[in-house]
Structure 1
């Protein structure tokens, strides 16, 4: 045993002269300012953009001769024929226009007859040649989308002004997220909003906070306007609101230790290997950083590892003031 101690003594004496930094390879970092974005994610749901819903209510009465738009949610393309209609009112207007051409009436009379056809809301291709089909007129789709509602059947009669078809856009949607009332200011200060459906990010055209608050749940609604193909009303979505950029002092979570109800960082001392415990006030920021409130200044160097060893060394050397 005596021989072993004599053998180890030079190494122990040498180790005493080594600093903690040399022994344990203490990493350091500087207190720095960072521009950070704060973001929060909320569950949301896809809804039809009601501003893009179109009601088709003919300006004439008539009978449905043939129906093409039959099934609920049937996909429709702009210009598709939804139904063929016989309308006595349209027939008479076409006859009037035809006669004005046939008998060479005053141009103003012909123009007035043509205007009557336009005001009846006939499709463009019929207006190009109104006399081609006198007895039948077409109801065509004004948008791409799908059939949301139909209120006529083959052979049925409808009065003018009655909504016989309702179409919804299949590319324009609302995405609505419910946010706690305490986050309303967070939303108002946001610089960016991201919508996700089926793990795909969608471009948000615009967004707004609805002037409505659920008194029971204290939730407000943020509505996003998006254009997208392949998504469906009723699908679940995620909305991420990103707050304005902040320039704040931060330190890594690995650079502090909690002791006796206080947070400490170890500031690099005047001499090599010296570390001074400093009380700091911090606030959680994210999974990597704390926001530094007080205790250190920008640019100061602190330890970023070996916290427990530095704590033990500070206790042994009486460096804590409390």
Structure 2
């Protein structure tokens, strides 16, 4: 009897404990069911936050575009100010409609729809006011007028103007080859006396250089004197043939003296004096400097012996290097100026007189010969010269150099279309002259291009494009992850519902 009573007490105690357990867990189940699906396990996933107007997608850092935060503030990585990524107008309407419906399913679809948005990003301190433009052209974007003033944007109008290209190159001063004299004799002999006996000695035209003894010259002088006597005696002959023969002999002998470079004055002196000179004096044919000397007393010389070289320095040549790309621009008669290191403040003016018809393969250059007057002998052979050639190009459509971003593969300008609209445009450039480029394609006369702060504008447009692309990829990835985790969470939360015991409709079944 006692055993039966103890058994009943144990059963009653177990039932009481079971009721307490059911009551405890039954009170917890409704609380779990009331938790929103995307709150418990999706705190780490990205959910776009809207401002009062519903136009802010999220906040990000221009240096770390993968960072996406709900609230404005500082970047946790680099401490730069966060900038907002805004929606376009069509997405604002869609988002506001979905917000009114307050449906979990619509919220999930709203996250998917944000993948096509484009946002505004700028450099540190640029803030809002610049956003991607909803245009058919991917190269068009918006930078507000206020933002342009903050970053110092300046523009200039594309115009047609006369261009003169300035080619800068180097050259070397050389002698005028047309004013160099080489002193030889046309007969053999021995030098008796040297009058100009050192190199670079200055001589004037007609100055004696050296005297030479030649047996051929002596015998020819004697023949000429005899021919003159015969001419004087037989010139009055009754026989014309004899008179003409004497005259021809004298003329042929005189012509032979001239062929040996005996001057007319020397021949006249021989005719007057009637005396044969043993030594003949050779005179300088020009005024200049002796650049080569090979004359010594008692030295035997022949017609192929170069005895002196005399150069006129009053005209100087400069052979300037012309690069292959500029050869077609350089023409005979164009003006040129040079400066030399010894006279840095003095400018010498000359002209192009000749262009080499040959390209040097190692340097890919040719030579242009420039001619300069040099009366004061300030330009000396061997000097290096800085050369500037002025090339007139005519009337051309031009754009300032400061407006062009040269990337190597392409040249880009930013066209100001007004009211904050900017367009990135590729252009084809031609000649470069001063502070301008010739524009062959891509711009029209009267268009305005950005000439200052265009690097910031370029960064603005590129960051917009990159962040928009990253945003699309992140939204697609976030949507897929959200759907997967949402499905798992729903299954996990609904599992306890199948075993609920304290719900009004299920209490009897539990019992």
Distance 1:257 1:275 in 2: 20
Distance 2:335 2:269 in 1: 50
Quick one: which of 107, 121, 133 aligns to 2:261? Answer: 121
1:143-222 aligned within 5 A: 143-179=286-322, 183-191=323-331, 192=334, 194-198=336-340, 199-204=346-351, 206-214=353-361, 217-222=362-367
**Alpha-carbon contact 1:175-1:226 (below 8 Å) kept:** yes
| Residue in structure 2 matched with residue 140 of structure 1 by the alignment | 283
| Structure 1 residues without counterparts, runs of 5 or longer | 1-18, 315-321
Distance 1:257 1:87 in 2: 78
Q: 1:154 to 1:78 in 2, by over 3 A?
A: same
Distance 2:457 2:364 in 1: 47
Q: 1:90 to 1:289 in 2, by over 3 A?
A: same
Q: 1:29 to 1:139 in 2, by over 3 A?
A: same
Task: Answer yes or no: is 1:130 the counterpart of 2:280.
Answer: no
**Alpha-carbon contact 2:352-2:368 (below 8 Å) kept:** no
Distance 1:171 1:146 in 2: 11
More helix, by proportion: 2
Larger Rg: 2
Instruction: Point out the more displaced range, 157-166 or 81-90.
Output: 157-166
| Structure 2 residues without counterparts, runs of 5 or longer | 1-144, 234-245, 341-345, 462-468, 470-511
Quick one: which of 370, 387, 393 aligns to 1:239? Answer: 387
| Residue in structure 1 matched with residue 369 of structure 2 by the alignment | 224
| Residue in structure 1 matched with residue 207 of structure 2 by the alignment | 80
**Alpha-carbon contact 1:263-1:280 (below 8 Å) kept:** yes
Larger relative contact order, structure 1 or 2 (CA cutoff 8 Å, min sep 6): 1
Q: 1:139 to 1:69 in 2, by over 3 A?
A: same
Superposed CA deviations along residues 154-200 of structure 1, whole A, max 9, x for unmatched, are 23232344222222232344422334xxx325213324352524343
Quick one: which of 278, 292, 297 aligns to 2:444? Answer: 297
| Residue in structure 1 matched with residue 424 of structure 2 by the alignment | 279
SS at match of 2:186: coil
Superposed CA deviations along residues 250-280 of structure 1, whole A, max 9, x for unmatched, are 233566799xx9632324x4xxxx4542333
More strand, by proportion: 1
Deviation (angstroms), 1:236:
0.8
| Residue in structure 2 matched with residue 39 of structure 1 by the alignment | 166
**Alpha-carbon contact 1:28-1:302 (below 8 Å) kept:** yes
Distance 1:90 1:54 in 2: 23
SS at match of 2:358: strand
Distance 1:59 1:98 in 2: 21
TM-score w.r.t. the length of structure 2 is 0.47
| Residue in structure 2 matched with residue 11 of structure 1 by the alignment | none
Distance 1:30 1:277 in 2: 15
Deviation (angstroms), 1:141:
1.3
1:81-100 aligned within 5 A: 81-100=208-227
Superposed CA deviations along residues 110-151 of structure 1, whole A, max 9, x for unmatched, are 212211211111123213333446323221112222212222
Distance 1:220 1:129 in 2: 56
Q: 1:73 to 1:221 in 2, by over 3 A?
A: farther
**Alpha-carbon contact 1:210-1:223 (below 8 Å) kept:** no
Distance 1:167 1:308 in 2: 61
Q: 1:210 to 1:69 in 2, by over 3 A?
A: farther
Instruction: Point out the more displaced range, 151-160 or 23-32.
Output: 23-32
Distance 1:193 1:248 in 2: 21
Q: Figure out how many residues of one structure are paired with residues of the other and give that number.
A: 285
Q: 1:139 to 1:114 in 2, by over 3 A?
A: same
Distance 1:257 1:48 in 2: 45
**Alpha-carbon contact 1:186-1:243 (below 8 Å) kept:** no
Q: 1:178 to 1:190 in 2, by over 3 A?
A: closer
Q: 1:139 to 1:212 in 2, by over 3 A?
A: farther
SS at match of 1:78: coil
TM-score w.r.t. the length of structure 1 is 0.71
SS at match of 1:130: helix
Distance 1:228 1:101 in 2: 48
